[in-house]
Amino acid sequence: MICPACNQENQEGTAFCANCGASLAQTPPVQQQPSVYQQPIQPPPVAQNPYATENGKLFSILAYIPFLWLIGLLVEPEKSDAKVRFHVGQGIILTIVGAALSIASSILFGILGNIFRTEISYWGVRSGVYIPAGWVSGLSMLVGLAISGVCLVLLILGCINASKGEQKQLPIIGNFAFIK
């Protein structure tokens, strides 16, 4: 048995070192197992939620529906959540662009309808009632459908990004969002 103090070799079974007198009894310290009441309590694992609040995902999705972005803009504590604010900004710009394009096309086709108009006559008698030419009405309807279709596609893309917890800008108009 080797002495832990002076490294002198001693006979087995001796209690003290013959060289330095140090104790050779090497009893390992007894480690007590902590009782159930002494063990630290581990919190349950939390699912990864990219939003700061529970309603953040819902408010982010609703932000793309025209004027429902007001909910995410005004309700506490969601209005301070960075992801909700991002999607609210995208929804506001989508609403503004959709409304502006609809108004601009209405004005344009109103002007074209007055330029290219025909008078209605009954049995050869002029009535004084003018209607836009047929092609103006048809083109106005097609442009309106195209604007609605583009806005709907952008709305769906925004809702998909919001449901995944991603902050991707909408194509074409996403850079113009002023709330971030």
Residue 38's pLDDT band, with cuts at 50, 70 and 90, is low
**Any bridge partners for residue 9, and if so which?**
2
Least confident of 85-94, 123-132, 134-143: 123-132
**Any bridge partners for residue 121, and if so which?**
126
Residue 151's pLDDT band, with cuts at 50, 70 and 90, is very high
* pLDDT score of 25: 75
pLDDT, mean of residues 84-102: 92
Q: Which residues contact 55 (CB under 8 A, 6 or more apart)?
A: 75, 78
Lookup: tokens for 153: 């596609």
pLDDT digits 0-9 by tens, 44-92: 666 566 666 678 888 889 999 998 888 888 888 777 888 888 999 999 9
One DSSP character per residue, 67-100 reads TTHHHHHHSTTGGG-HHHHHHHHHHHHHHHHHHH
pLDDT digits 0-9 by tens, 107-124: 998 888 888 877 777 777
**Predicted TM-score (pTM) of this structure:** 0.63
**Any bridge partners for residue 132, and if so which?**
117
pLDDT, mean of residues 9-36: 72
pLDDT top residue among 146 and 178:
146
* pLDDT score of 159: 93
| First vs last C-alpha separation in the chain | 74
Residue 135's pLDDT band, with cuts at 50, 70 and 90, is confident
Residue pointed to by tokens 């449901």: 163
- Tell me: pLDDT of 34 over 80: no
pLDDT top residue among 1 and 113:
113
3-state secondary structure at position 156: helix
pLDDT top residue among 120 and 162:
162
